[in-house]
Structure 1
């Protein structure tokens, strides 16, 4: 009996139990019987706790899940691994023990993987589809090595909403319901009026370096089920993206830099790590978010600019880099900058080597690398940087009219990379 058939039997068995319990409760209600009495006898949760599948010996359960994890390496077959984690608590704990983070495997499995760093030794290849009519953007995991693909595993969606003085991009794990009132809302991107500064917000603090937005209007929109009960709900500023002021494009391609407050600069050092969020995203919407596979049919800035309003200044106060004296004891945040393009004499344009992942010239195309900031006593900037700092951490580029590739790696997560790429879509009145 194959492991795939075992998983199918488990899913079908629990599905029939749930349907049978629902039918009994419904018929009891129609006959005027007490729902509570029926619930005590036919509650699927009680049946599941007494099922033979939940009482498997830990050694056997570990062997089953390990073999399934090794065999189902890509989507859509990887949904069977998610099905195992949705069986019961013991199966979920075993999956959490065996299924490793994308940093070590390069695989996106559970919803929590969207907020975990990408692989150290490679990149995770994704693509973004834009719908101008609805102002929505959908992020998909590439299922093929082809540059222009029409299908993929759905990961995240975003919807642009224009305000009087700013623009917001609401980011959700649901492809259809992109709303801040939804339980699948996980963060947002907010820009100033000129489109030169962006702040990335997360619904959960990845660690104590994130600043919390104290706007009361925002906090009232949250529900307790969206975050851990031990963590106060709200918006946490985790990164800031800045574009250099460049009126009429007289200074060449766009120049940008990102201050990642949720990632310490030491994460790129040997043995460095990125503080991650708790695994409560694993238990949220296992079946809804990752239970099935969703399918869908160059010019390239580092000077910062203050927001035009005091409200934006308050929001981004925690995003600026402060002196060591003011912030003694805290680690420096990781700073990313765009890789400078070279001028191609024959083509008469600015060029970057995207290694075949970008096919259409666009002002939106960019590559991000780490900007080294040596502390006191560290090597001077004239000395060569570490190889880790020379690697391209995020690249984004156009391949069709409304199709863009997004490749990211450690220490960025899919959520952070997607938010940074969304900033490139926004209209920048003072940059071009």
Structure 2
């Protein structure tokens, strides 16, 4: 893995460069003290067997009808209007759909601020549950904006109403070039454990319903486990998790995706 500077807000929002390969992260969840009902999440970039660098911080905000995570670079400056806040993750009321935005204005204020100041949608996730031999299996659809090859930044998308979300537009053929769509890597059945599992290449040590691997939508249609994944997430201990991601995801998008798993039912 090449060296990668994560200190810049701009780099955190841009796609992980293809030449960097797969970045490896650790997520530490804090659920003690005041954080019992509203957990805190710390994202660290692993740079070696012993070295890690703090990258992002997220906290679930209280007193909201839907999930509301505020994401910042610095815990000490993580207030709603803090200078280090880079975005937020929201859900619908049933926790089946999640939307990751930058720190722009809510579209309801479109008549009060310039259009450029309205928030952009960086990630949209939809969860469904299908019956299987051991109960229910969670299925995910993950959508991110495609990359503008001339600028190497995600294409700008500003949904001014719910119907404009990427989850809706990706279903329309005329918009397919504007988005990348991903799905779960189908887990393999293990008769010894009587359960489904992924090959995490030694990164994940505990089985969990939260564990996942994400692959391109086209590969997911094959219905078989694919060895080459774009992102993966899994449990190591009660409060420690691993997250790996590569191009075309940004660090911001990968962290947002992981946060949805902590929250969904």
Contact 2:14 2:152 in 1 (8 A): no
Q: Which residue of 2 aligns with 1:72?
A: none
Of the three residues 134, 138, 142, the one matched with 1:258 is 142
**4+ aligned runs moved over 4 Å, structure 1:** 246-251
Unaligned runs of 5+ in 2: none
Indicate whether 1:398 and 2:235 are aligned: yes
Q: Deviations over 1:168-220 (max 9, x none)?
A: 0100011233222101110111011221110110136xxxxxxx841239x88
Displacement, 1:367?
A: 0.5
Of the three residues 34, 42, 46, the one matched with 1:138 is 42
Unaligned runs of 5+ in 1: 1-101, 205-211, 221-229, 278-311, 374-380
Indicate whether 1:276 and 2:153 are aligned: yes
Q: Which residue of 2 aligns with 1:123?
A: 22
Matches within 5 A, 1:363-374: 363-372=209-218
CA distance in 1, matches of 2:247, 2:264: 28
Which SS does the other structure have where 1:165 is aligned? coil
Matches within 5 A, 1:201-240: 201-203=101-103, 213-216=106-109, 232-240=116-124
Contact 2:211 2:233 in 1 (8 A): yes
CA distance in 1, matches of 2:17, 2:242: 17
Which SS does the other structure have where 1:331 is aligned? helix
Contact 2:15 2:152 in 1 (8 A): no
Q: Which residue of 2 aligns with 1:178?
A: 78
Which SS does the other structure have where 1:372 is aligned? helix
Displacement, 1:107?
A: 1.2
Displacement, 1:318?
A: 2.9
CA distance in 2, matches of 1:236, 1:179: 20
Q: Deviations over 1:223-256 (max 9, x none)?
A: xxxxxxx983232122210100458997533211
- Which protein is richer in helix relative to its size? 1
CA distance in 2, matches of 1:367, 1:273: 29
CA distance in 2, matches of 1:248, 1:314: 35
- Which protein is richer in strand relative to its size? 2
TM-score with structure 2 setting the length: 0.81
Which SS does the other structure have where 2:234 is aligned? strand
Indicate whether 1:199 and 2:99 are aligned: yes
CA RMSD of aligned residues (A): 3.3
